[in-house]
Structure 1
Amino acid sequence: MGGLTKANLKARAGARSYERGLGYLDAVSGVEVGDGWATATVHGTDRYEVALTLDGPGGPAGRCDCPYGMEGNFCKHLVALGLTLLAQRSSLPRQRKAARDRAHDLDAWLSALSKDELLTLVREQIGEDRRLRRRLELRAAGARGDVAGIRAKVRELLDVRPFARYGYVEYADARAFADQAGQAVSAIGALTGSGRATVAIELTREAMRLLAEVATSVDDSDGGLGQVAVDLADAHLEACRAARPDPEELAHWLFGQALRDLDTGLTDIDPLDYRDVLGDAGMTTLRKLVVEAWRGNRTGWAEKYLMERLAKTAGDIDTVIAVHAADLTPNGHTHLVIARELESAGRPDEALNWAERGLRETPDLATVDTALVDHLCERYARAGRLPDAVALRRSHFSARRSLLAYQQLRATARDTDCWSAEREGALTLLRADAERQQPGGWYGGSVLVDALLDDRDATAAWQAATETGAHDKQWLTLADQVRADRPADALAVYLRLAEPLTAQTGNAVYEQLVVLLLSIRDCHRRLDTPDAFTTYVTALRASLRRKRNLMRLMDEHGL
């Protein structure tokens, strides 16, 4: 249980859920502890079942069937279970042993039952658990070779209607539907293992169609249904390898399925995974279908993807280039893709030509793919063309005027020992933008202030902020940077930023306010005016005394 601590629980749940979990410690019951896991019932608005993994790679993880937990959150009920386990740390080894003993006793009891007694027990469970009944019905149908029965059960398991409220499967019900759909995949896969692969091919295709029809009606945030689709595609490939269907028919089906899949992203079937099944005849048919489709729609995403995959598999770099060149994006991104393909193929001169063409064919350099600029600058530097790299960075900065473009210009210009001159020109452009009140930096602030802060030129940044304005986030950074040398200026900023927070509520606000108060205290210490701070914080505590969480946080920091 080394990964379970109060700090980890708070980090995992967040301050709000953690503090709310403190109020549910008396509501935890039925705790069961195993090796690395624990379950319990927590009574809140309703009765919730919680399960906690104690030593996960990212700290504690868990599952709760409360509404907040069903959305994938680490809720207050999980916090309550975690804190309960920490409080019972000394007794956990005994509880683990008790859980193992119970499992052993249950297994021994079951082993001692007669066949008739076991059948009676199973029949009772079948009557109470519909999911168990369906799983056993599928196994029975498979064992007796009842293909019609399996087909009917597969259709039933992929029927979304019992889970759909108002025609849609909500997140809370999606997991149960995905589990049920997974049973259909298992049943189909079992057909291949029992020598009925041809039937399995037919059923996987029908299941894919049914799954595609309902996929848009399911909230698959957890990806459970997506995994079912992937498993279904794997089952189809396995069945095809066992049954060896007609290669030309298979090629036509794979082509159509791949086009649909690439649009929906459901089963993610790759026709090239079937090369060993298709053979020469099937691959010839597949190539013909893909080429005809691409020629009929050279800008279609699915058609381009399939054509590129076939060309790459064949090592046909010129066809790969032709596929991309037929649908060039206006920001130079496709030119960059082509350049990288040509470089990988050992054709650097052509690669450079395509990259430079991407710049020329971008109508507005402010919209160019930054990765293309980075690519070209790297190639220029590698070829000893540093002035060309600086010129490109300068042009890109002039068009975009962002902090990132400024940083990139600075890095490249420093490599050629010309940053002093480049900086002056760049700051002139940013100063003109700031004077026109043209934001574009962090949080909508002035890029000029951002750039000067990034240069660690606090004096110039403060002057720019004073003359042309700055965002509060920038003022805070400025105050932090000048506090040691200009505590009075920094104090004025901190006091102004703290004032609106005193009228707000919430733990996040309180944390911000305390950070500012600590900075205010430091400024008064530097100014040798501790009494002024004492007067200020005393008045603040008196006016905000009803905010108990704030008071506690201030106490923790000695404020």
Structure 2
Amino acid sequence: MSPHSDLRPYLRTLDAETLADLLHAHAERDPELRHSLELRAATQSGDVSEAHRLLDAAVTDGNVEYTAKIGAVLDTLQRMLDLGSRADLAPLARRTVDDISEVLEQSGDHTGDLGDRLERAVELYARACTARPPDPEKLADWILEVEFDGPGWPVIDLAEFATALGEPGLRRIKSTVDDVLTATEAGHRRDVAERLREQLAEVLGDVDELVAILSAKPPRRDVSLKIVRVLRAAGRHSEAIAHAARAFLHDKNGHAPPPPPPSPPPAPVEEDDDVSRRRKDFDARPDRETYAALREAATAAGKWTSQRRAALARLRELAAEGPEQAEELARVLLDDGRPDEAWRACVRFGASPELRLELAEQRAAEHPAETIPVFREHVEELIERKDPQAYQEAARRLKLLRSLHKRAETPDEFTAYLAALVETHRRKTRLITEIRTARIALPKAVSSPRTPR
């Protein structure tokens, strides 16, 4: 069967019981798939008890399935939010955030896969709170506890929770922030309070307060640009132009450290519009190149979190239209340093064999069972080339497949697969020779090759 063959027509010929058996067998070898299916079964009617049970059962000390279980819970949360579920998902989302935070605090490492999942969990919690707002003052207390008394993560963006907080919640946060800033204490709590003060001014639309906060910071180009942008958004164009001119002269006279490498700034108003222009470019042609340009501009302006979420949502919409668009999404996720999400995008939307192979090579060590089908397709593609070097590479890939099946605890499947492959290509004596040279035991029925082909 060709590596590009679509199995769906064949699968549609199977009865429901056979399909169920096949899916169940695969789920037994793939913890993440199993957890996802369990949650789907339990949440069809909006019941989230299975997700809570999965969190209860998650072993946080040395259990390699923990990350998969959390991923399954987050997938369920996102699916139900996307479908507009009437269930109150905020308690589950908050519990997931707290659970991941506790594990990360114990490990002392908030980078990597779990760090990514924590960021995603916070985003989903904000969405769940917006859909079914909890008590605003209790939500405010949770945010204050995370920010002031937490280990430093997750970092909360008040804009994401502003709707759910409403006036009562924002007022409660502002009261605490003011108390901290009024005190003479310095250090972590004051740093947090100053950051929240800036976010509050932005969320509440207090332009004078926000400009005062930004103006008090050490002179930097990105701060000046934000001031100009805030003033222009408020319709105070003459003030924006005056501030931009002062910032330009300040930088030109050397009173502020120039950004490396030093270069003359573009016209101030145009630079302020850089994120907007990049966003328009991306909307007109959503791809890897325009996404990278948007990321650079939005990061410099301190707006990347919200811009990234919107841009990825657009790329996911397009990914459903075909493999080329799916490839753009996966490449963008790789550029963002999110290989797990890139892999899931390929599985969900499809992608080129080259990209699937690239991602499989990255995942093979930790997820052997997931990558086996990709390497099998690659072996078939190599054999179809009918080239001595391709045969040699196919033998190396077969050796890798043997190792993957062993680590996935399915060595018998490799034996059956190899027997079928050799039977199909038994006349390719050069291939058989390369397999023997790679020290892969062949079925006894295969005779010694005579004339290489």
TM-score between both structures, scaled by the size of structure 2: 0.44
| Greater RCO, 1 or 2 (C-alpha within 8 Å, sep 6+) | 2
Larger strand percent: 1
Structure with max Cα Rg = 1
TM-score (norm 1): 0.37
